[in-house]
Structure 1
Amino acid sequence: MKTVFSPLHAGHSGNVELIAGAIVPAFEKPSRAEFIRARVESEKLGPILSPESHDLAAARKVHAGDYIDFLPTVWPLWEASGRGGSAIPFTWPTRGLRGDVRPKGIDALLGFYSFDGGATFVKGTWDAIKSSYDVALTAAALVKAGEPSAFALCRPPGHHAGAAFMGGYCFINNAAVAAQWFRDHGAGRVSILDVDYHHGNGTQEIFYRRGDVQVLNLHGDPMTEYPFFLGHADERGEGDGEGFNDNYPMPFGTGWEVWNASLEDACTRLSAYAPDVVVVSLGVDTFEKDPISQFKLKTPDYPRIGRRIARLGLPTLFVMEGGYAVEEIGINAVGVLTGFEDR
């Protein structure tokens, strides 16, 4: 399996996040991608390729144009305001406030285009975002060209980013971009299978009213787990998308047996949908030692996930999302991939 990876991800480093009542160093850090890259090499998964550069036209297919235009301007605007450190939002429009009016000034704009304090910027963040997007599209093109699978080692991740908002460490929704790119290049139907611990709220929001991209999410119950405000089982899609969105919320402490039952059901629904290609939002924060997650999957479970996905018998693009137990993230993420290849 070919992996696409860019060292430019490392520019997104040293930033902070607002979580659990404190501003702390971000859990989403460069060592995550480096541990995975090193494991790809040590396991001899396959060649590691550099991404080709793409314009932002594909991003504009799933994101609002003004939002995409905003992202490269964040750090210049922040610096122009006389500040360094991390650009972090601190105020958000909510019920009763004029969230439909685009404000002026970087502090207001950060809140207008985000839903939490987890998508923060430093000087190299935009270059990292753009490289992650290039990684996803380059890997998608490999699958389109006939590779049975490919691994987009994206950082920063993407599945919390919606049509016009960032959050949860995510800025451009790489999996959604890839799914739309496949549609634009001949795929009649695409399925996105999101196995990250946290619900892919951005992916759901982007495709919720569409029937050409199926979205299946396995995740922590939003009644008790971030991102809280999407991910319930009764969210099945609307309009043309009705019946093509499936959520599998599960409680704290979920282990392999219950989680795997959800995966089996999701794979059954995916097969019935009969897509031309599968995009897997690959998060491994379901791991029992993950510092910000509450599931109890163990390292031997991850190759099982890969083997089950392989049984779908479909061209498959893996797009890296979450996973924060850094010492094990490479073992677990690459474990899915070697399981897929039945090593």
Structure 2
Amino acid sequence: MKTIFSPDQLLHAPTKEISDGKLVAAHEVPARAEIILEHIRKAQFGEIQPPKEFTLNAILKVHDTDYVHFLQDFWKLWQEAGRTEEEVFPFVWPVHGLRHDIVPDHIDGKLGFYSFDAGSPMGAHTWTAARSSAETALTGADLILSGEGAAFALCRPPGHHAHRRLYGGYCFLNNAAIAAQHLRDQGVGKVTILDVDYHHGNGTQAIFYDRADVQFLSIHADPKVEFPYYLGHANERGLKEGAGYNHNYPLPHGTSWDKWGEALEDACRTIMKFAPDVVIVSLGMDPYENDPISQFRLKTDDFTRIGARIAQLGCPTLFVMEGGYLIGELGVNCTKALSGYLDAEKISL
């Protein structure tokens, strides 16, 4: 299994974030990717290669042009406004009752217009890292198109919270969605995105919610008590042509393998009925019992089971890295999931 990664993805390096009403140390930091990369090398799964360069067209198939231009131009606009802070947070949003049809000229208005939370700081190199992360996913998709049975896109920053026109949840470009759309544009008939991150993939759901060609399934903490709070309920099943192709499995805090594994089994049966040509896994390591910002109770060996069960689907599979935060077990758990996939015939589920 080849891994794709670029050092440019480390350039976005926040030190602080706003969480629980406080300014705290950032959780989505470059060391996350470095730890995983170290363990990938030790596991010797295969070649580690840089992403190819892509035009913006692949990104613009998923994200609105004005939003992408905002991400590109943000740092210049910030400096032109006379701002000197190196880490930037929005503080006002066009919520219920306010207008959504006019983009403000002022940089603070733009920040709120194109975001949905205050926990995702932007800086001078955010666009470079986010674009490289998207190109990492696109390169993984091209490996699948070339005949590889599986590939691992070590994406960082992550992507599954990013909407067409919104960033948040540490995500700026939706890597899994961009890869899925690229596969469709290159002639792949049906794509499934299975999101196993602790948090609901609200951006991915929103992007494909009215489509029948990309199935979305997410196993995550109940949004009634967990970020992103406003999407991820079980009754969100899709709209128009997409009705019946969106599947959410919200689970309570404290969920361990027994209930989590039941949700995975149901999701896999649903995937088999859809019969996709390619599966994309939004691979989050944060269901782990010791993750610093999550409340599930999965153990290291459970990630092996996840990988093995996904392998049983029998589809070409692109793993796209999402969450999972800075603890020593992060790299171990990630390689366990990938080795479970590669050695599925040896795994007892």
**Mapping for residues 288-327 of structure 1, pairs under 5 Å:** 288-327=289-328
Q: TM-score, normalised by structure 1?
A: 0.98
Q: TM-score, normalised by structure 2?
A: 0.97
Q: Equivalent residue for 1:278?
A: 279
**Which one is further off, 256-265 or 71-80?**
71-80
Q: Over residues 16-43 of structure 1, what are the superposed CA-to-partner deviations in whole Å (9 max), with x where a residue is unaligned?
A: 2211001223200000000000000011
**Mapping for residues 94-105 of structure 1, pairs under 5 Å:** 94-105=95-106
Q: Equivalent residue for 2:253?
A: 252
Report the CA distance between 1:99 and its aligned residue: 2.0
CA RMSD, aligned part only?
Answer: 0.9
Partner secondary structure for residue 211 of structure 1:
coil
Q: Over residues 170-226 of structure 1, what are the superposed CA-to-partner deviations in whole Å (9 max), with x where a residue is unaligned?
A: 000000000000101111110000000000000000000000000000000000010
How far apart in 2 are the matches of 1:91 and 1:234? 30
- Runs (5+) with no aligned partner, structure 1: none
Moved over 2 A (4+): none
How far apart in 2 are the matches of 1:192 and 1:330? 22
Question: Structure 1 residues 203, 155: CA separation in 2 closer, same or farther (over 3 Å shift)?
Answer: same
Q: Equivalent residue for 2:28?
A: 28
Partner secondary structure for residue 330 of structure 2:
helix
Report the CA distance between 1:232 and its aligned residue: 0.3
Q: Equivalent residue for 1:141?
A: 142
Report the CA distance between 1:53 and its aligned residue: 0.9
**Mapping for residues 1-343 of structure 1, pairs under 5 Å:** 1-82=1-82, 83-342=84-343
| Contact 1:75–1:87 under 8 Å retained in 2 | no
| Contact 1:304–1:336 under 8 Å retained in 2 | yes
How far apart in 1 are the matches of 2:76 and 2:212? 39
Give the aligned length.
Answer: 343
How far apart in 1 are the matches of 2:100 and 2:15? 27
Report the CA distance between 1:240 and its aligned residue: 0.2
Q: Over residues 118-148 of structure 1, what are the superposed CA-to-partner deviations in whole Å (9 max), with x where a residue is unaligned?
A: 2221112111011101111111100110000
Report the CA distance between 1:84 and its aligned residue: 2.3
How far apart in 1 are the matches of 2:198 and 2:186? 30
Q: Over residues 239-282 of structure 1, what are the superposed CA-to-partner deviations in whole Å (9 max), with x where a residue is unaligned?
A: 00000000000000000010000000000000100010000000
How far apart in 1 are the matches of 2:135 and 2:157? 12
Report the CA distance between 1:153 and its aligned residue: 0.2
- Runs (5+) with no aligned partner, structure 2: none
Partner secondary structure for residue 110 of structure 1:
helix
Partner secondary structure for residue 3 of structure 2:
strand
